[in-house]
Structure 1
Amino acid sequence: MVAPRHPSISSTSSTIVHEPVEHLPVASEKADPFEVTLDLDDPARPQNWSRVKRWYLTGVAGSLVLNATFASSAPSGILLDLIAEFGMARLVGVLTISLFVAGYCVGPLLWGPLSEQYGRRPIFLIAFGVYACFQIGGALARSTAQVLVFRFLGGTFAAAPLTNSGALISDLWDARTRGKALALFTLAPFAGPALGPTVAGYINVSGTSWRWVFWILSIFAGVCFLMIVFTVPETYVPVLLVHKAKRLRKETGDPRYFAPMEREKLGAAEHVERIVAKPFKVLFREPVLIAITLYMSFVYGCIYLLFEAFPIVFTVGHRFNAGASGLMFLPILIGGVIGVIGYLVIFDPRYAAAVEKYAPEPVPPEFRLEMALFAAPAFCVAFCWFGWTSFPSISFWAPMLAGGLMGFAIVWIFLPLFNYIIDTYLFIAASALAANTIVRSVFGAVFPLFANQMFEGLGPRWASSVLGFVALIMIPIPFVLIKFGPTLRARSKHAPS
Structure 2
Amino acid sequence: MASSSPRRIIGDDERLGADAVHPSQVPSSRSDGVSNDVPASRDVKKSSKSLETVRPQSEKSGHGPTDSSALDQTRRHNTNDEEDVLGSDRYPGEGTRENPFVVDWDKEDHENPYNWPKRRRWLLTAQIALGTLCVTFGSSSYAGALTRARRELDMTVVISILPISLYVVGFGVGPLIFAPLSEIYGRRIIFLLSFTTFFLFQIPCALAPNATVLIVFRFLAGVCGASPLANGGGTIADIWPATERGIATSLYSSGPWFGPIVGPLVGGFLIESGLGWRWVFWIMCIVTGALSILGLLFMPETYAPVLLRRRAAQLNKESGGTLYFISRYDVGKNETALQKLSINMRRPFVFLFTEPIVTLLSIYVALLYGALYATFIAFPIVFQGGRGWTPGMGGLAFLGIGLGVVLGNSMAGWNNALYIRIANAQPGGKASPEVRLIPGMIGGVLVPIGLFWFAWTSDPSFHYLIPIAAGVPFGMGMLLVFSAVVAYLMDTYQTYTASAIGASVVLRSLLGAFFPLFTAGLFKKIGNQWGASLFAFLAMLCMPLPFLFYYFGQRVRMNSKVARQFAIARMQEVQALQSQQAPPRGSANV
State whether TM-score is above 0.5: yes
CA–CA separation in structure 1 for the residues paired with 2:353 and 2:17: 23
Find the residue that maps to 1:234 and give its secondary structure: coil
Find the residue that maps to 2:470 and give its secondary structure: helix
CA–CA separation in structure 1 for the residues paired with 2:546 and 2:236: 27
Verify the 8 A CA contact 2:230 2:505 in the aligned structure 1. no
Query: Which of these residues, 132, 150, 157, is aligned with residue 90 of structure 1?
Result: 157
CA–CA separation in structure 2 for the residues paired with 1:221 and 1:409: 29
Structure label with greater radius of gyration: 2
Query: Which of these residues, 344, 351, 375, is aligned with residue 274 of structure 1?
Result: 344
Q: Which residue of 1 aligns with 2:425?
A: 357
Q: Which amino acid aligns with 2:107?
A: L
Query: Which of these residues, 6, 14, 30, is aligned with residue 92 of structure 2?
Result: 30
CA RMSD of aligned residues (A): 3.0
Verify the 8 A CA contact 2:175 2:503 in the aligned structure 1. no
Q: Which amino acid aligns with 1:357?
A: A
Query: Which of these residues, 69, 78, 81, is aligned with residue 148 of structure 2?
Result: 81
- With over 3 angstroms needed to count, the CA separation of the structure-2 counterparts of 1:265 and 1:273, relative to structure 1, is closer
1:293 matched to 2:345: no
Q: Which residue of 2 aligns with 1:195?
A: 262
Task: String of CA shifts for 1:432-481, please: whole Å, max 9, x gaps.
Answer: 43332211111111111111111222221110112122222333333333
- With over 3 angstroms needed to count, the CA separation of the structure-2 counterparts of 1:356 and 1:189, relative to structure 1, is same
Deviation at 1:18, TM superposition (A): 10
Deviation at 1:212, TM superposition (A): 0.9
Q: Which residue of 2 aligns with 1:474?
A: 542
Deviation at 1:75, TM superposition (A): 0.7
Deviation at 1:110, TM superposition (A): 1.3
Query: Which of these residues, 111, 115, 126, is aligned with residue 182 of structure 2?
Result: 115
Find the residue that maps to 1:220 and give its secondary structure: helix
Find the residue that maps to 2:219 and give its secondary structure: helix
Task: String of CA shifts for 1:356-394, please: whole Å, max 9, x gaps.
Answer: 112227434443333333322221111111111111222
Q: Which amino acid aligns with 1:56?
A: L
Query: Which of these residues, 353, 378, 386, is aligned with residue 317 of structure 1?
Result: 386
CA–CA separation in structure 2 for the residues paired with 1:186 and 1:473: 23
CA–CA separation in structure 1 for the residues paired with 2:428 and 2:441: 27
CA–CA separation in structure 1 for the residues paired with 2:338 and 2:403: 46
1:218 matched to 2:285: yes
Q: Which residue of 1 aligns with 2:201?
A: 134
- With over 3 angstroms needed to count, the CA separation of the structure-2 counterparts of 1:38 and 1:369, relative to structure 1, is closer
Find the residue that maps to 1:186 and give its secondary structure: helix
Q: What does 1:207-286 align with in structure 2 at a 5 Å threshold?
A: 207-244=274-311, 260=327, 265-266=335-336, 268=338, 271-276=341-346, 278-286=347-355
Find the residue that maps to 1:40 and give its secondary structure: coil
- With over 3 angstroms needed to count, the CA separation of the structure-2 counterparts of 1:28 and 1:123, relative to structure 1, is same
Q: TM-score, normalised by structure 1?
A: 0.88
Verify the 8 A CA contact 1:37 1:259 in the aligned structure 2. no
Deviation at 1:44, TM superposition (A): 2.5
- With over 3 angstroms needed to count, the CA separation of the structure-2 counterparts of 1:166 and 1:490, relative to structure 1, is closer
Task: String of CA shifts for 1:39-94, please: whole Å, max 9, x gaps.
Answer: 33222322222221211111111111111111111110110111111111111111
Q: TM-score, normalised by structure 2?
A: 0.75
Q: Which amino acid aligns with 2:365?
A: M
Find the residue that maps to 1:439 and give its secondary structure: helix
Q: Which amino acid aligns with 1:272?
A: S
Pick which of 292-301 and 363-372 moved more: 363-372
CA–CA separation in structure 1 for the residues paired with 2:253 and 2:150: 34
Verify the 8 A CA contact 1:71 1:196 in the aligned structure 2. yes
Task: String of CA shifts for 1:416-441, please: whole Å, max 9, x gaps.
Answer: 23333444556866554333221111
Verify the 8 A CA contact 1:6 1:19 in the aligned structure 2. no
Q: Which residue of 1 aligns with 2:58?
A: none
CA–CA separation in structure 2 for the residues paired with 1:366 and 1:21: 17
Find the residue that maps to 1:378 and give its secondary structure: helix
Q: Which amino acid aligns with 1:308?
A: I
Verify the 8 A CA contact 2:455 2:531 in the aligned structure 1. yes
Verify the 8 A CA contact 1:194 1:330 in the aligned structure 2. yes
Query: Which of these residues, 482, 503, 506, is aligned with residue 438 of structure 1?
Result: 506
- With over 3 angstroms needed to count, the CA separation of the structure-2 counterparts of 1:427 and 1:223, relative to structure 1, is closer
Verify the 8 A CA contact 2:249 2:486 in the aligned structure 1. no
- With over 3 angstroms needed to count, the CA separation of the structure-2 counterparts of 1:326 and 1:112, relative to structure 1, is same
Q: Which residue of 1 aligns with 2:41?
A: none
Q: Which amino acid aligns with 1:170?
A: A
Task: String of CA shifts for 1:152-186, please: whole Å, max 9, x gaps.
Answer: 10011001121223332222222222222112222
Q: Which residue of 2 aligns with 1:12?
A: none
1:302 matched to 2:371: yes
- With over 3 angstroms needed to count, the CA separation of the structure-2 counterparts of 1:493 and 1:313, relative to structure 1, is same
CA–CA separation in structure 1 for the residues paired with 2:311 and 2:350: 36
Pick which of 257-266 and 185-194 moved more: 257-266
- With over 3 angstroms needed to count, the CA separation of the structure-2 counterparts of 1:168 and 1:208, relative to structure 1, is same
Verify the 8 A CA contact 2:163 2:215 in the aligned structure 1. yes
Unaligned runs of 5+ residues in structure 1 are 8-16
CA–CA separation in structure 2 for the residues paired with 1:234 and 1:492: 30
CA–CA separation in structure 2 for the residues paired with 1:375 and 1:320: 31
Find the residue that maps to 2:275 and give its secondary structure: coil
Pick which of 192-201 and 162-171 moved more: 162-171
- With over 3 angstroms needed to count, the CA separation of the structure-2 counterparts of 1:18 and 1:316, relative to structure 1, is farther
- With over 3 angstroms needed to count, the CA separation of the structure-2 counterparts of 1:289 and 1:119, relative to structure 1, is closer
Q: Which residue of 1 aligns with 2:455?
A: 387
Pick which of 82-91 and 231-240 moved more: 231-240
CA–CA separation in structure 1 for the residues paired with 2:487 and 2:240: 16
Q: Identity across aligned pairs (percent)?
A: 36
Deviation at 1:406, TM superposition (A): 0.8
Query: Which of these residues, 507, 523, 541, is aligned with residue 455 of structure 1?
Result: 523
Q: Which residue of 1 aligns with 2:247?
A: 180
CA–CA separation in structure 2 for the residues paired with 1:307 and 1:456: 15
Q: Which amino acid aligns with 1:478?
A: P
Pick which of 115-124 and 223-232 moved more: 115-124
CA–CA separation in structure 2 for the residues paired with 1:425 and 1:120: 17
CA–CA separation in structure 2 for the residues paired with 1:96 and 1:421: 31
